[in-house]
Amino acid sequence: MDNVKFSQSFPWTPFPADAEEYPVALDSLANRKFITTEVNRPEPGTGLLRARSQTHAGWETLVLDYDKATQSWSLRSAANGKYVAVEKNFTGASQYALRARSDEVAGWERFHLWVNLYDHRLAFQSQLNDRFVTMEKNYTGTSEFMLRARSTDVNGSWETFSIYDLLDDQ
């Protein structure tokens, strides 16, 4: 976490670990759409995370799991029960795509969560490559609005998300 870089002058701090499991819905500030797990998509896109839904329900529910030992977070999709991994071995425009496809949490599934104290936006930083998760607004087709851990900086809305607490909805 020593190489954290934020272009914006707002104060950022680690997201508080108030609960071990924290069901949430997230929306991208770049397009104001909820993050969805693409459970019916064929491989290699099964479980791809995309900011494409106007509302949140089962496919848009993620569970944040905090691990005290590593002081990191994992994301588990409520849609398929799988942990979100950063796809290091994908190439080209899909490299570092986020997919809910893992049964266990290891290095590819760990994130640091940062909250902006000024406006409460969230930023996710992958432990795998130290890059921030970005919503790909300019992609088209089935990759439109996909999430990738590719940005070295939090420059604006593409790397930031709003969080909606669903703990009381269960």
Q: Domain coordinates of the chain in residue numbers? A: 12-169
pLDDT at 82 over 60: yes
pLDDT at 157 over 60: yes
pLDDT at 29 over 60: yes
pLDDT at 1: 44
Distance (Å, rounded) from C-alpha 124 to C-alpha 139? 20
Averaged pLDDT of the chain? 89
pLDDT at 56: 92
Distance (Å, rounded) from C-alpha 52 to C-alpha 132? 19
pLDDT at 19 over 50: yes
pLDDT at 81 over 70: yes
Confidence of residue 117 (pLDDT cuts 50, 70, 90): confident
pLDDT at 77 over 60: yes
Coil, helix or strand at residue 114: strand
pLDDT at 15: 72
Looking at the structure, give the CATH architecture of the domain made up of residues 12-169: Trefoil (2.80)
| CB 98, CB 104: distance < 8 Å | no
Distance (Å, rounded) from C-alpha 114 to C-alpha 130? 13
Residue 155: both structure tokens together? 């420059």
What's this model's pTM, rounded to 2 decimal places?
Answer: 0.89
pLDDT at 109: 98
130-150 tens-digit pLDDT: 999 999 999 988 889 999 999
Q: What is the percentage of the chain residues whose pLDDT exceeds 90?
A: 67
